């Protein structure tokens, strides 16, 4: 009986892992390059739900107030594309490197994206 229970839970665990939501980003880092002060700071990270269930982005968080990420409001269905837009305050002079953390129901619950560049 114990062997049957262990086997059942092992199969259940493996099937949950195989069917977990997963997403693949086209780029995980966006390099703004050298841009003039006050120029457009909006950039977009595109991803595809490569899992077998709806992907839900629960929240996004940046490492400072100068970076504002925006997540999709509805679930991304399997095979569909989604976007996370990021606005950086380009009034600040100098180099920057910021992280955006994505919290979701994916196999990897936290995903980090990066933006970088130089405001001249």
pLDDT of 3-49, one tens digit each? 665 654 455 444 444 456 888 999 999 999 999 999 999 999 999 99
pLDDT of 62-101, one tens digit each? 988 899 999 999 999 999 999 999 999 999 899 999 999 9
What is the C-alpha R_g of the chain? 19
Say how far apart CA 53 and CA 56 lie, in whole Å.
Answer: 9
Q: What is the pLDDT of residue 4?
A: 66
Tokens of 22: 């997963």
CB neighbour burial string for 18-48, b if at least 16 within 10 angstroms, e if fewer: eeebbbeeeeeebebeeeeeeeebebebebb
104 band by pLDDT with thresholds 50, 70 and 90: very high
pLDDT of 108-118, one tens digit each? 899 999 999 99
By CB neighbour count within 10 A (0-12 exposed, 13-18 middle, 19+ buried), where does 3 fall?
A: exposed
- Report field, pTM of the whole predicted structure over 0.75: yes
């Amino acid at each position: 009986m114990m062997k049957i229970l262990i086997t059942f839970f092992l199969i259940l665990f493996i099937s949950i892992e195989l069917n977990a939501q997963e997403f693949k980003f086209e780029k995980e880092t966006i390099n703004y390059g050298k841009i003039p002060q006050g120029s457009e700071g909006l950039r977009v990270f595109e991803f595809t739900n490569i899992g077998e269930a709806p992907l839900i982005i629960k929240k996004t968080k940046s490492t400072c107030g100068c970076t504002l990420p925006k997540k999709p409001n509805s679930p991304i269905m399997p095979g569909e594309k989604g976007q996370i837009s990021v606005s950086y305050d380009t009034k600040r002079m100098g180099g920057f490197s910021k992280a955006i953390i994505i919290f979701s129901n994916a196999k990897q619950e936290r995903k980090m994206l990066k933006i970088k560049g130089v405001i001249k």
